[in-house]
């Protein structure tokens, strides 16, 4: 049997005793708490690099960090913001169907060949009325095949939970959600390196942390990666390999927002284009109000129909049919999810025909300033995060479910999922030079003088 055939039948997992089950849950819970601590207390570390997604105009700052419990272990800390909800991200990371595994594989840049749930320690509640609707604990085995590398597998504890920060001074709360991955050794899942040539990787208090911000519908997103990849080659140059993954880790964080943007806009693309205004009737960009000249290329947003200039639009590959990707133009407002706010432009900027068609907006992402610009600008697309004590206790969201929540606990793909669509027209991710960002404007995810409490646990950690 080759490594491609590994699956559920390859493991003999005996029933666990209650003490063994509780021991694994406690180990996963402790790893989760340290993950949140690492994610929210690393702002004092200098920024290593900054990258930007040219489609969403979103930035991500990357730091090279040390583990809180084992300083000899190095890793990466990626911070950005994402327009979505806690319910949506928790459902994205709950991999209970093949389609969700493929979405995860594409967004996270992993080629997952097989996924098996060895043990379900705490089942995720089916009813949203449960007191812990987003809580899940399990032991997972994942096999992936990186490009130009031997296959690699992981056996780890997966811990999902909501949490909250309580400001000790004001008593106000800031809610969040975490997905933690922490490797564990089990006799039923031994190393397969000698038999199949599969390198065993190790997650160490790694994962994804999401925090509510002062802006409803926008979350702080921190991705912490403390990983030992295994293999003889990486054993001799781990730091060099880690540095080479800096852009990959940052792009993964930015890819997640792209995924939710596409999910949000896809239903709008079923609307007929006959309801849209005609390009010839519009003389000014519906967003930046730049006048169209005879050589200007006009773009029409496929989602809302606005006529915009090339600067205010970008091409996105969308799947209209099962096996067909089509690149369409989307405007900045639809990408960012900004609400349209009509305003009265100057009279000399409108023609008789465009006066009735033009629907400008004032909510647009702020651009990164160029080298030499002395005016201080906001680093991130949204306004800087307020201190934890200035945040409202909670927000309510109205967003439909992204996926069906019914599916098997064993995910066997059998083959690599299709590669993510690549935009040949432009590079969507690129580094920014140090002259294009300032360290003082990106330390936005810190938590100080607060009490951290997981929703499934009564104990707290003081930061």
Q: For the segment 259-276, what is each residue's pLDDT rounded down to a tens digit?
A: 898 888 877 777 788 888
389 pLDDT tier (thresholds 50, 70, 90): very low
| Residue 2 scores a pLDDT above 50 | yes
Q: What is the mean pLDDT of residues 72-84?
A: 91
pLDDT of residue 341: 46
Rounded Cα distance, 167 and 463, in Å:
10
User: How big, in percent rounded to 5, are the helix, strand and coil portions of the chain?
Assistant: 25, 30, 45
Same domain, 292 and 258: no
Residues 260 and 342 both lie in one domain: no
Query: Is residue 259 located within the same domain as residue 304?
Result: no
Query: Which is more confident, 308 or 319?
Result: 308
pLDDT for the residue numbered 237:
56
The last residue of a domain, from among 339, 357, 375: 357
What local confidence, expressed as pLDDT, does residue 25 receive?
96
**φ, ψ for residue 13, nearest 5 deg:** -100, 105
Residues 170 and 196 placed together within one structural domain of the fold? yes
Name the burial class of residue 189, with classes exposed (0-12), middle (13-18) and buried (19+) by CB atoms within 10 angstroms of its CB.
buried
Does 458 lie in the same domain as 335? no
379 within domain boundaries: no
Query: Binning pLDDT at 50, 70 and 90, where does residue 384 land?
Result: very low
pLDDT confidence bin for 136, thresholds 50/70/90: very high
Q: What average pLDDT score do residues 360-388 get?
A: 36
Cα 280 to chain centroid distance, Å, stands at 39
Could you tell me the two tokens for 70? 């084992």
Question: Same domain for 182 and 284?
Answer: no
DSSP assignment of 258-290, as one string? HHHHHHHHGGGGGS-GGGSPPGGG--B-TTT-P
Contact 378, 366 (CB under 8 A): yes
pLDDT of 317 = 79
Report d(CA 55, CA 376) in Å as an integer.
23
Q: In the chain, how many domains are there?
A: 2
246-265 vs 98-107: helix axis angle to the nearest 10? 130
- Measured CA to CA, the distance from residue 57 to residue 80 in angstroms comes to 11
Which of helix, strand or coil describes residue 141?
Answer: strand
Task: Determine which of 122-131, 374-383, 437-446 has the lowest per-residue pLDDT on average.
Answer: 374-383
Per-residue pLDDT for 138 more than 60? yes
Would you say 394 and 212 are in contact if contact means Cβ atoms under 8 Å apart? yes
User: Structural domain of residue 241, as residue ranges?
Assistant: 3-264+386-462
Let me know whether 191 and 307 are in one domain: no
Same domain, 111 and 254: yes
Is pLDDT of 221 > 90? Answer: yes
pLDDT of residue 81: 93
**Residue 230: inside a domain:** yes
Give 440's pLDDT tier (boundaries 50, 70, 90). Answer: very low
Of 130-144, 322-336, 440-454, minimum mean pLDDT range: 440-454
**pLDDT tops 60 at residue 413:** no
Angle, in degrees to the nearest 10, between helices 86-93 and 98-107? 100
Tell me: pLDDT of 422 over 50: no
In the chain, the N- to C-terminal Cα span, in Å, equals 50
Do the beta carbons of residue 399 and residue 295 sit within 8 Å? no
pLDDT score at 359: 36
135-152 burial code (b ≥16 CB/10 A, e <16): bbbbbbbbbbbeeeebbb
**Pairing state between β 202-203 and 227-228:** antiparallel
The answer for 314, left when phi > 0, alpha when psi is -120 to 50, beta otherwise, is beta
Nearest C-alpha neighbor of 317 from the set 427, 424, 429, 430? 424
Quick one: 275 and 260 in the same domain? no
278-307 pLDDT, tens digit each: 888 899 999 898 999 888 889 999 888 899
Do 283 and 162 lie in one domain? The reply is: no
Closest CA to 86 of 259, 217, 180, 265: 217
> Does residue 105 fall inside a structural domain?
yes
**Distance between CA atoms of residues 24 and 29, nearest Å:** 9
Residue 372 lies in a domain: no
CATH number assigned to the domain comprising residue 340:
3.30.40.10
Please calculate the CA angle 25-30-33 and round it to the nearest 5 degrees.
125
The pLDDT value given to residue 372 = 36
Residue 376 lies in a domain: no
Give the model's pLDDT for residue 145: 86
Q: For 69, what's the count of Cα atoms within 13 Å in the CB-facing half-sphere?
A: 12
Q: Is the dihedral of CA 106, 112, 113, 116 positive or negative?
A: negative
User: Which CATH number belongs to the domain containing residue 11 in this structure?
Assistant: 3.30.530.20
Q: For residues 12 and 116, state if they share a domain.
A: yes
Task: Kindly report the backbone phi and psi dihedral angles of residue 52, in degrees, each rounded to the nearest multiple of 5, phi listed first.
Answer: -135, 140
Say if 366 falls within a structural domain. no
As a whole number of angstroms, the distance between CA 116 and CA 119 comes to 9
**Per-residue pLDDT band at 234 (split at 50, 70, 90):** low
Count CA atoms within 13 Å of residue 95 on its CB side.
25
- Which of 339 and 159 is assigned the larger pLDDT? 159
Residue in the block written with tokens 């730049």 = 290
Tell me, yes or no, whether 184 lies in a domain.
yes
Chain mean pLDDT for the chain: 75
Q: Does position 155 have pLDDT exceeding 80, yes or no? A: yes
In a domain, 454, yes or no: yes
Q: Is the pLDDT of residue 27 over 90?
A: yes
Are 166 and 207 in a shared domain? yes
């Amino acid at each position: 049997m080759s490594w491609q055939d590994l699956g559920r039948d390859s493991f003999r997992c005996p029933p666990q005793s209650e003490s063994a089950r509780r021991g694994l849950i406690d180990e996963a819970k402790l790893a989760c708490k340290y993950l949140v601590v690492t994610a929210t207390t690393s702002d004092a570390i200098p920024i290593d690099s900054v990258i930007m997604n040219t489609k969403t105009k979103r930035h991500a700052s990357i730091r090279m960090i040390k583990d809180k419990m084992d300083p000899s272990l190095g890793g990466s800390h990626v911070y950005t913001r994402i327009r979505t909800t806690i319910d949506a991200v928790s459902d994205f990371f709950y991999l209970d169907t093949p389609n969700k595994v493929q979405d995860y594989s594409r967004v996270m840049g992993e080629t997952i060949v097989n996924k098996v749930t060895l043990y379900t320690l705490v089942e995720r509640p089916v009813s949203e009325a449960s007191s812990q609707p987003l809580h899940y604990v399990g032991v997972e085995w994942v096999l992936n095949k990186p490009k130009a590398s031997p296959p690699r597998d992981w056996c780890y504890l997966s811990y999902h939970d909501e949490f909250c920060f309580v400001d000790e001074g004001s008593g106000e709360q800031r809610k969040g959600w975490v997905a933690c991955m922490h490797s564990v050794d089990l006799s039923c899942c031994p190393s397969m390196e000698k038999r199949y040539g599969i390198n065993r990787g190790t997650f160490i208090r790694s994962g994804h942390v999401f925090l509510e911000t002062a802006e409803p519908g926008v979350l702080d997103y921190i991705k912490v990666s403390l990983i030992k990849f295994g293999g003889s080659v990486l054993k001799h140059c781990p730091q060099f390999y880690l540095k080479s993954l800096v852009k990959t880790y940052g792009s993964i964080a930015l890819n997640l927002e792209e995924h939710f943007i596409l999910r949000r806009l896809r239903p709008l693309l079923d609307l007929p284009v006959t309801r849209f205004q005609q390009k010839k009737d519009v003389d000014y960009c519906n967003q930046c109000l730049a006048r169209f000249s005879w050589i200007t290329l006009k773009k029409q947003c496929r989602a809302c129909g606005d006529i915009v200039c090339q600067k205010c639009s970008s091409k996105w590959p969308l799947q209209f049919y099962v096996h067909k990707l089509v690149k369409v133009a989307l405007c900045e407002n639809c990408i960012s999810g900004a609400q349209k706010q009509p305003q009265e432009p100057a009279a000399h900027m409108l023609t008789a025909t465009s006066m009735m068609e033009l629907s400008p907006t004032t909510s647009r992402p702020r651009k990164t300033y160029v080298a030499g610009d002395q005016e201080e600008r906001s680093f991130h697309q949204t306004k800087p995060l307020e201190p934890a004590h200035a945040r409202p206790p909670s927000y309510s969201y109205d967003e439909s479910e992204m996926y069906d929540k019914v599916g098997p606990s064993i995910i066997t793909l059998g083959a690599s999922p299709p590669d993510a669509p690549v935009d040949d027209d432009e590079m969507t991710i690129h580094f920014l030079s140090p002259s294009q960002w300032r360290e003082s404007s990106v330390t936005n995810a810190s938590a100080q003088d607060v009490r951290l409490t997981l929703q499934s646990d009564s104990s707290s950690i003081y930061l």
